[in-house]
């Protein structure tokens, strides 16, 4: 039975990020086993995020944008970003970059296989891969499937951010590659939140994504025909070639994912609740989580760092999810008013949970209050007591 200091169960974004943070810290000599059922040798997703400072992944940023566009049938805003950059990283570049760095350390091992039976006791944690047992001082578990979210707990909201995107190439310049279209609401909402997201890589290439926040997934044909209709009729691009496709489902829930399972198993990434409930943005939250774990291991020899209260932001997330759940069709107008009445950076810091209460109030004051009051009543009850 092989024993390691740490086992990372699932070598995707969270697992590899944690390993990378470990080798760039005094933990670099720890023995680490990273296990994944997939080989991670293809571009299975792209990550976008906004940041006001350099990140450890600056070298692999594929593109960055300094303007954000928001549009619906009546309103159109293009807002320059001043302190922030909106950036994109391809997952294949991320996997290759981290594998290359980790391969410099003989104390780091990789195993390709399906993990079962993760458990722990006072002294150690263990898991099973193809009938072999591996043990460690701590296991960091990032295995996740959206099916594991069911059955739904009645006290929480459960929706999905589900999307399909095409990287398209046009024979003539069609895109302004200085701007990213974050929300293009020129599509029927069907009582849900539906929009297109366009990320130009240059003036002839872009990722166009059809995104829905709801609890009903579409068929493959429905995503495809919406994408085709948007590109031809709304973007008015008649000729294009599909280079690559991307699809995904991200949980949007205020469910409290447990961080700790047993004495020595820590859940990380999506499994540990890293996805921002109301937006699905996760990448930078995973980096912040990895930093905290490494600091905690260095300080206390335990990864379980004290959780900061997120009551305020959890409540905002729950309110937005509650509106999406009741009548997602309201969100388009709320978002358009929010972008119309606030500087873009105020909104992005707010979504990143890095704004002051006063700034939050300014944002809330800029959108219709009625849907949020109903949400508060649904969450806390009319007597103001939280139901969960
Ligand atoms: C297509 C897509 C696009 C996204 N775009 C963005 C974005 O632009 N910005 C953003 O902030 N977030 C984005 N996200 C959300 C989030 O950042 C990603 O889902 C991110 O990959 C989450 O990291 P993770 O480590 O939790 O999960 P993953 O990266 O999925 O890693 C989990 C790993 O566990 C492995 N695994 C699972 N079960 C087992 C098992 N039983 N045995 C062995 N291995 C197992 C899987 O193979 C996988 O490699 C996106 C998500 C998707 C799906």
Question: Where does ligand 1 bind, in terms of residues with CB under 6 Å?
Answer: 10-15, 35-38, 45, 47-49, 114-115, 142-144, 246, 248, 250, 269-270, 280-283, 286
Q: Label the pairing between strands 63-65 and 158-169.
A: unpaired
Q: What is the pLDDT of residue 150?
A: 62
pLDDT score of 145 more than 90: no
Q: How sure is the predictor about 218, in pLDDT bands with cuts at 50, 70 and 90?
A: very high
Class level of CATH domain 158-252: alpha beta
Exposed/middle/buried for residue 145 (C-beta within 10 Å: 0-12, 13-18, 19+): exposed
Contact 211, 163 (CB under 8 A): yes
In angstroms, the first-to-last Cα distance of the chain is 43
What are the residue boundaries of the structural domains of the chain, listed by start?
2-70+87-150+255-300, 158-252, 311-380
Q: How far is the CA of 249 from the centre of ligand 1 (A)?
A: 10
Q: Check for a shared fold between 2-70+87-150+255-300 and 158-252.
A: no
Confidence (pTM)? 0.95
CA distance 253 to 264: 26
pLDDT score of 151 more than 80: no
Residue count of the chain, please give it.
388
Q: What is the pLDDT of residue 195?
A: 98
CATH 3.40.50.1370 holds for 2-70+87-150+255-300: no
Q: What is the pLDDT of residue 147?
A: 74
Task: State mean pLDDT over 191-213.
Answer: 97
pLDDT score of 190 more than 80: yes
Q: How far is the CA of 15 from the centre of ligand 1 (A)?
A: 9
Distance of CA 102 to the CA centre of its chain: 24
Q: Select from 141, 89, 96, 159 the least CA-distant residue to 269.
A: 141
Atom of ligand 1 nearest to the CA of 270: 26
- Strand pairing partners for 90? 46
Residue 43: CA count within 13 A, CB half-sphere: 13
User: If you compute the radius of gyration of the chain from its CA atoms, what whole number of angstroms results?
Assistant: 22
Q: Considering the chain, what percentage of its residues have pLDDT values greater than 70?
A: 97
Q: What is the pLDDT of residue 383?
A: 60
Q: How sure is the predictor about 146, in pLDDT bands with cuts at 50, 70 and 90?
A: confident
pLDDT score of 299 more than 70: yes
pLDDT score of 382 more than 70: no
Q: What is the pLDDT of residue 8?
A: 98
Question: Mean of the per-residue pLDDT values for the chain?
Answer: 94
């Amino acid at each position: 039975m092989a024993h390691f200091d740490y086992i990372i169960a699932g070598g995707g974004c969270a697992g590899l990020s944690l390993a990378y943070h470990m080798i760039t810290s005094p933990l670099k000599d720890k023995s680490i086993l990273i296990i994944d059922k997939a080989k991670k040798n293809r571009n299975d997703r792209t990550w976008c995020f906004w940041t006001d400072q350099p990140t450890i992944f600056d070298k692999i940023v594929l593109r960055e944008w300094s303007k954000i566009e928001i549009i619906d049938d009546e309103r159109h805003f293009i807002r320059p970003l001043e302190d922030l950059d909106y950036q994109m990283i391809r997952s294949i570049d991320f996997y290759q970059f981290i594998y290359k760095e980790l391969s410099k350390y003989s104390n780091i091992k990789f195993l390709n296989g399906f993990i079962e039976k993760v458990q722990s006791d006072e002294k150690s944690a263990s898991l099973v891969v193809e009938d072999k047992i591996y043990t460690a001082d701590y296991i960091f578990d990032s295995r996740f499937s959206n099916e594991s979210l069911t059955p739904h707990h009645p006290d929480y909201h459960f929706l999905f951010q589900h999307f399909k995107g095409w990287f398209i190439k046009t024979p003539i310049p069609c895109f302004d590659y200085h701007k990213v279209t974050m929300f293009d609401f020129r599509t029927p909402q069907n009582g849900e939140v539906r929009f297109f997201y366009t990320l130009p890589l240059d003036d002839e290439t872009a990722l166009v994504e059809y995104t829905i926040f709801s609890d009903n997934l579409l068929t493959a044909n429905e995503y495809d025909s919406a994408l085709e209709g948007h590109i031809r009729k709304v973007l008015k691009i008649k000729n294009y070639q599909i280079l690559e496709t991307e699809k995904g489902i991200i949980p949007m829930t205020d469910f409290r994912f447990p961080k700790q399972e047993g004495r020595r198993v820590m859940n990380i990434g999506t499994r540990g609740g890293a996805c921002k409930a109301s937006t699905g943005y996760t990448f930078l939250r995973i980096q912040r989580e990895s930093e905290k774990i490494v600091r905690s291991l260095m300080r206390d020899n335990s990864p379980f760092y004290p959780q900061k209260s997120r009551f305020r932001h959890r409540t905002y997330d729950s309110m937005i999810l509650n509106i999406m759940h009741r009548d997602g069709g309201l969100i388009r107008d709320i978002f358009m008013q929010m972008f119309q009445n606030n500087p873009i950076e105020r909104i992005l810091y707010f979504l990143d949970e890095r704004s002051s209460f006063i700034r939050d109030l300014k944002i809330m004051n800029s959108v219709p209050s009625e849907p949020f009051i109903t949400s508060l009543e649904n969450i806390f009850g009319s007597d103001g007591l939280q139901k969960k």
